[in-house]
A and B are shown apart, each in its own frame.
Chain A
C-alpha cells in the first residue's frame, strides 16, 4: 500500500512569512495527526483529526497555526506568520482506527527552516 505522502520535503522561509504543508494519508485511514519535531526532541502532537473533525488541538498555537482536513482525506497545516522557533520537521501520521490496534504510519515529514 502507498504510504503517507507529505509535501514539500523542505521549505525555507523568512520570519513573518506564511507557509503551508500538505498531507495525504493512507487510503481509508480515518485518523490523521500532525506532529512538530524540533531538532533533538521527540515529536509533539499539534492536532488530531477523526475523519474531518478535530479531536484534539490543545497543543496547536492557534494564533498562528491552523489546520484543516476537508472531506476527511487530505490535510493542510498552515503557519501565518512564521517565527524562528517554528523551525522543525512537521510530521503527518495516519491510523486506520485506534492507534492501539493499528498503530501509526508516519510520512517523511516537511523540514521547515525559518530565517
Chain B
C-alpha cells in the first residue's frame, strides 16, 4: 500500500548540534521525495527534495540522502538554529501523481 513512516516524532537538540529525521516508504516505484517544514499555524513549505537518480543533495545547512534499495531517505540539518524549530514532514511520490506524507517530526532547537 501507499505508506510513509517517519521517525522520530519529536526531536530536541541544542543549538549548533545536528538533527536527523528518517523516513521509509513502501512503493519501490516512488521516485520523488520532498521535505516540508511547517511552522505553527502556517502552510507546509518545501525546503528540499531529492529524486531517485541521485543519492544525496545538499543546500547550505540541510541535506537529504536516499537509499532506494532500502527504501529509506533522511533529512540532515547541521548547525541547528532556534529558527529551525518547526514540524518537518517527509513525503513520497506515488504513481498517480500524488504525494503521501509522513506523520511529522517536531524539532525543537534550544538556545
Q: Please report A residues at the B interface, Cβ cutoff 8 Å.
A: 31, 33, 35, 40-45, 48, 50, 55-56, 91, 95, 98-100, 103-104, 106-109
The yes or no answer to B44 lying at the interface (CB within 8 A) is yes
Number of interface residues of B (CB under 8 A): 23
Q: Which residue of A lies closest to B9 (CB)?
A: A40
Total contacts A to B, CB within 8 angstroms?
Answer: 56
Instruction: State in angstroms the CA–CA spacing of A40 and B89 once bound together.
Output: 11
Q: Which residue of B lies closest to A108 (CB)?
A: B43
**Which residues of A are found within 8 Å of B93, using beta-carbon distances?**
99-100
How far is the CB of A79 from the nearest CB of chain B, in Å? 20
Contact status A100-B46, CB under 8 Å = no
State which of A42, A99, A109 has its C-beta within 8 Å of the C-beta of B98: A99
State which of A41, A45, A56, A106 has its C-beta within 8 Å of the C-beta of B104: A41
- With A42-B6, A108-B43, A109-B43 as known contacts, state yes or no: A100 contacts B31, CB within 8 Å: yes
